């Protein structure tokens, strides 16, 4: 005769095991959508009939939150999400940048596990997934390990910056990006409508506490000159548009040849590329206000 203890014990163990597996937090894969075309619509839902939130340009990368039926749900900034067609974007693995020296890479996601490598500020790793408070990463030598979440920043190709002033410059980007799609209104300087110099003035005040004059020509005299191939996130870029021979337009560089600006022609805040025909022809100079 089979003992009831022999039946109940394995069954109970199975229930406990199933319960543990169900309640255990699932790992989230970190992948980004790299945009492959200019002026790609970001929509409120994953269909062509939904509202257009803003537009994004080629080369920009955004964290993928969800994937459904040919669409990626992406994180535009800390407070805004939207959907882009996967037909015009490519899935890429996210890159993490280590912040802090002598950072341990461990063989499992616990502080008592063995350290398999030591990394320092600026070292880059490939983010494979996030599980609870740890990132699972792959290093340049192909080793795989875990780094505590607060010791990693997710790198954005459209937010390439030098170390040191990166926190302030990243804040500039977040403020500017949060205003994408806002309406262009001449002489306005926020918080919901802008002209070109009013937009850069608002971003610098809200993001860095720096007061800029409300004039693109006046702003072009600030800071230090920067060559076009040395531009970094936060640099101001200036143009002479509409047939003018003098500076009359300004935007803020965000990396990969892109800049964000309040466009009178498109009547909103948008991202454009310095290599596009019109802006390539009318580009005048770059100025660095934050060093």
User: For position 142, which CATH number holds?
Assistant: 2.30.30.40
pLDDT classification of 291: cutoffs 50, 70, 90 = confident
CA atoms within 13 A on the CB side of 266: 16
Number of domains making up the chain: 3
pLDDT the model gives residue 161: 42
To the nearest 10 degrees (0 to 180), the angle between helices 166-177 and 196-208 is 130
pLDDT in tens, 32-63: 888 888 778 899 999 999 998 888 877 778 88
Helix (H) or strand (E) holding 98, with range, is strand 95-98
Confidence of residue 103 (pLDDT cuts 50, 70, 90): very high
Residue 114 has pLDDT above 70, yes or no: yes
Residue that finishes a domain, picked among 112, 133, 155 = 155
170, 281: one domain: yes
Query: Do the domain assignments include residue 21?
Result: no
For position 108, what pLDDT does the model report? 92
Residue 21: predicted pLDDT: 37
Which of 123, 155, 187 lies at the terminal end of a domain, its last residue? Answer: 155
User: Which structural domain, as residue segments, surrounds residue 100?
Assistant: 95-155
Q: Is residue 19 assigned to a domain?
A: no
**Same domain, yes or no: 178 and 282:** yes
**What are the pLDDT digits (tens) for 152-211?**
887 755 444 443 455 678 788 889 988 888 999 999 998 999 999 999 999 999 999 999
User: The domain that contains 215 carries what CATH number?
Assistant: 3.90.1720.10
Mean pLDDT of the chain: 83
| Residues labelled catalytic | 196, 249, 261
Query: 99 and 81: one domain?
Result: no
Name the domain boundary from 93, 111, 134.
Answer: 93
182 shares its domain with 195:
yes
Instruction: Please state the φ and ψ torsions of residue 270, each to the nearest 5 degrees.
Output: -150, 170
Identify the helix (H) or strand (E) that includes residue 284: strand 283-288
């Amino acid at each position: 005769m089979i003992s009831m203890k022999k039946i109940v014990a394995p069954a109970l163990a199975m229930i406990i095991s199933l319960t543990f597996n169900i309640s255990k937090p699932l790992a989230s894969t970190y992948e980004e959508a790299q945009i492959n075309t200019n002026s790609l619509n970001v929509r409120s839902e994953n269909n062509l009939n939904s509202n257009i939130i803003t537009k994004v340009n080629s080369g920009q990368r955004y964290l993928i939150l969800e994937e459904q039926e040919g669409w990626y749900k992406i994180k535009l900034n800390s407070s805004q999400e939207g959907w882009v067609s996967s037909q015009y974007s490519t899935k890429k693995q996210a890159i993490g940048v280590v912040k802090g020296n002598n950072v341990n890479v461990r063989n499992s996601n616990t502080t008592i596990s063995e350290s398999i490598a030591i990394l320092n500020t600026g070292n880059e790793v490939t983010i494979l997934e996030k599980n609870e408070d740890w990132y699972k990463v792959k290093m340049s030598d192909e080793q795989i390990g875990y780094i505590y979440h607060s010791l990693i920043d997710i790198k954005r190709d459209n937010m390439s910056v030098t170390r040191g002033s990166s926190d302030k410059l990243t804040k500039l980007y977040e403020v500017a990006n949060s205003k994408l799609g806002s309406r262009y209104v001449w002489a306005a300087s926020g918080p919901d409508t802008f002209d070109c110099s009013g937009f850069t003035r608002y971003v610098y005040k809200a993001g860095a506490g720096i007061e800029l004059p409300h004039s693109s020509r006046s702003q072009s005299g600030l800071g230090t000159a920067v060559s076009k191939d040395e531009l970094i996130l936060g640099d101001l870029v200036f143009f002479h548009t509409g047939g003018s021979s003098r500076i009359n337009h300004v935007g803020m560089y965000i990396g990969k040849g892109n800049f964000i600006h309040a466009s009178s022609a498109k009547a909103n805040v948008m991202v454009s590329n310095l290599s596009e025909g019109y802006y390539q022809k009318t580009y005048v100079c770059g100025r660095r206000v934050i060093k």
